[in-house]
Structure 1
Amino acid sequence: MAAVEEVVRARREPANLPSPSRFAGHATRSTVAMVLAGGRGSRLHQLTDWRAKPSVAFGGKFRIIDFTLSNLLNSGIRRIDICTQYRAHSLLRHIQRGWNFLDSRFDEFVEVLPAQQRTNGDWYQGTADAVYQNVDILRRQDPKVVLVCGGDNVYKMDYRVMIEEHLERGAKLTVACVQAPASECSSYGVIRADEHGRITAFQEKPAVPFTVPGRPDRIFASMGVYVFDAAYLYEQLMADAAMSHSTHDFGKDVIPRLVKDGAAAIFAHDFSNSCVNMTNGEAYWRDVGTVDAFYEANMDLTHVLPELNLY
């Protein structure tokens, strides 16, 4: 029941950001979240040899995916699909035991979507393909907005702020980004945006990245959290599926192509505007993709005033 405890606790915590408007509440009710939780986490292989990365234990009693699921529920998003693939038994058991309390009578659900080769004979080939292979299910759920996010990062975020910003701008796609050291650019997608927040360039794991204006040691890194206009998402998934040269990944293929095309309104969302309970003025987000990063994030919890406060 650790996941449930975290949800209840998070509801009591005061957020250090403005209360979302009624407009945002209506928007989240018309949102479906697609959580991508099928990753192997090869750089974390000592811990993922027998389970998917989102199912790895964190902080003594949580699983990594609990952060994403807690963020969703506390943001008012109660229609959640979870795409699973690699060694999913531990993850499925955790979701069934800890996240089975939503009421389907009110069209609330946490639904697991294992790879089923629904559209062809292949398993999920990339992040975009995982959504594409379940697009018929997504259409039946009839969202106006689709939030796509990973289940393998450690952070606390109010997605309502990002969704409201997305709708106010009339965006087709909004990409959440966080400042990170430029020395780590080879691990992330790197964003360049204009003064209005519109993305003008997107580099996937570059050797020489775009840096934050006035801060050559910092980059805007993609968090792997995307808000799509639903109809636009379906259109782009179909287009990507027809491209034989594509690896069918949002970060490697879909988003760079859309930004380069320049036809649609694609914006960046600054995570510092939606991060919950920042302690030192810095938005806390950790990839925990390596054993060292995973260890350091766990040790962050031991500080007297932890950057990530779960207490």
Structure 2
Amino acid sequence: MSSDTLILILAQDRGLGLDALTRQRTKAAVPFGGKYRIIDFTLANCLHSGLRQVLVLTQYKSHSLQKHLRDGWSIFNPELGEFITPVPPQMRESQDWYSGPFDAIRQNRYLIERNRASQVLILQGEAIYRMDYAELARAHRETGAAITVAVRAVSAPGAGRQARVVLDADELIRELHAPGSGADDAETAEGERQETMGVYLFDKSVLLDALAGYERGVSPDADLALDVIAPRLAAHPVRAYRFGQARGRVTPDRYWCDLASVDAYYQANMALLRAEPPLDLYQPDWTIHTYQGQYPPARTVPGPQTGNEGVFVNSMLAAGTVISGGGVNHSILFPQVRVEDGAIVEASILFHGVRVGAGAHLRNCIVEKDVRIAPGDRIGFDARRDRERFDVSPDGIVVVTSEEASSRGLAT
């Protein structure tokens, strides 16, 4: 099946809701869960599904993403026709950059045409979920669909940002509606509201026909569901594939999050610390592959000045992290973080290489890579002062970026 399916992962998006975290990188490369990048979840789904012809369409601040793909995902064998290849704009037809997801696919039509695969699976590289794409492909073949769209149940009207789906009793898609268009009351025959999730499997001939229908510069920001698939509902069998069903080798936890805002990102990370998290990172037959440096083990040590023991409670600590007389509670620390004597970190996410100075106190913070927090500083306690110094989300999460810390004397 690997040779019969070409994967296109859309990873060119800036991620407007995550502006504070995408100043250095594209959204797909934003760190998540203590050691991963967002795109690792989509790539791990491909790996475990036996799909190993992967093109990653990149554009916005893509160096971090391309470095991650090189260091962490150079695991396929090109001698067997396997690859994970980043594809920035090639400008074969003009000097234009990708102007939207469909335009990114259209500009790489030649890569689709020359590949021997008979079907093309289009994925977002910017959402967190686990899914067995092999089962989706099997359902596509069994039902004789021309296009298969993965859908998930939505708990309430207005939830989510994806296109709304109306199904008939045979799981054929009858209608697709924009979110917030007044169609949120549309239901399937069983009464569930469904929405798309950025997973589309096309027969290659159908996708090429759709690409041919759009000239260069026309509808560059076309939405795949609403502008490409919806007009073809009458001409082709377009079926839904329900996310989280019993088929497939992934525990059907039905977890999916597109991390549309800083608050959504923060809550998705904090949810990993629950006694029973909604996303099981520890399922042994569906590990999330990533790049991890050769760092020493994480450890706690007594503080050099006070002799206080370093402690952590209900937290994730990545390799190379040292808590030296400080305290960490309900937090996620990426590799090579240091928490110095008397410092306290509560309900916070610290990216790679952060150093928290002695006696500092952080609460409800996201701290960018390599930021140095000055000794004795307090962040997350005075909302007015925090807003003067940093980005603060609607829910009060303080985002300390390296640019802000440097300009205010916090970084060294």
- 1:45 paired to 2:16: no
1:295 aligns with 2:266: yes
The answer to whether 1:96 aligns with 2:70 is: yes
Distance of 1:265 and 1:117 partners within structure 2: 34
The change in CA–CA distance for 1:246 and 1:106 in structure 2 (over 3 A counts) is closer
Deviations 1:270-293 (A, max 9, x none): 0122572135xxx11111111111
* 8 A contact 1:65–1:151 mirrored in 2: yes
Q: Report whether the alignment pairs 1:285 with 2:256.
A: yes
Judged with a 3 Å threshold, the aligned counterparts in structure 2 of structure 1 residues 149 and 171 are, in CA distance, closer, same or farther, namely same
CA distance in 2: counterparts of 1:238 and 1:107, whole angstroms: 27
- For residue 269 of structure 1, what is the amino acid of its counterpart? Y
What amino acid maps onto 1:191 in structure 2? Answer: V
Q: Deviations over 1:134-165 (max 9, x none)?
A: 11112222211110000000000000111111
What's the TM-score, normalizing by structure 2?
A: 0.64
> What are the ranges of 5 or more consecutive residues in structure 2 without an aligned counterpart?
283-412
Which of 238, 244, 254 is the matching residue for 1:266?
A: 238
Structure 1 partner of 2:200: 226
Q: 2:102, 2:220 within 8 Å by CA — same for their partners in 1?
A: no
In structure 2, relative to structure 1, the CA distance for the partners of 1:224 and 1:154 (3 Å cut) is: same
1:62 is the counterpart of 2:65: no
Cα distance, 1:242 vs structure 2: 6.3
Deviation of residue 121 (structure 1)?
3.0
Residues in 2 aligned to 1:271 and 1:118: alpha-carbon distance in whole angstroms? 37
Cα distance, 1:180 vs structure 2: 1.7
Contact kept? 1:135, 1:234, Cα under 8 Å: yes
1:157 equivalent to 2:131? Answer yes
In structure 2, the partner of 1:77 is 51
Gaps spanning 5+ residues in structure 1: where?
1-26
Q: Alignment partner for residue 309 of structure 1, among 274, 280, 291? A: 280
Task: Tell whether the 8 Å contact from 2:29 to 2:64 is kept in structure 1 after alignment.
Answer: yes
Q: Which amino acid aligns with 1:109?
A: F
- CA-CA distance at 1:232 after TM superposition: 1.1
Q: Structure 1 residues 194, 106: CA separation in 2 closer, same or farther (over 3 Å shift)?
A: same
Whether the aligned pair in 2 keeps the contact of 1:197 and 1:267 (CA below 8 Å) is yes
Q: What does the per-residue CA deviation read over 1:168-204, in whole Å, with 9 as the maximum and x for residues that have no partner? A: 1111111101112334346111100101110000012
Q: CA RMSD in A?
A: 1.9
What is the DSSP-based 3-state SS (H/G/I as helix, E as strand, rest coil) of the residue aligned with 2:214? helix
* Partner Cα distance (2:95, 2:33) in 1: 39
- Cα deviation, residue 76, structure 1: 0.3
1:135 aligned partner: 109
Deviation at 1:51, TM superposition (A): 0.9
User: Secondary structure of the residue that 1:146 maps to in structure 2?
Assistant: strand
* CA-to-aligned-CA distance 1:227-275 (integer Å, 9 cap, x gap): 000111111111133683563331341122222xx01111111012257
More helix by share: 1
**Whole-angstrom distance in 2 between the partners of 1:196 and 1:169:** 10
Matched residue count:
279
The structure with the larger Rg is 2
Aligned-pair CA distance for 1:213: 4.3
Cα distance in 1 for residues equivalent to 2:5 and 2:26:
26
* Alignment-derived partner of residue 18 in structure 1: none
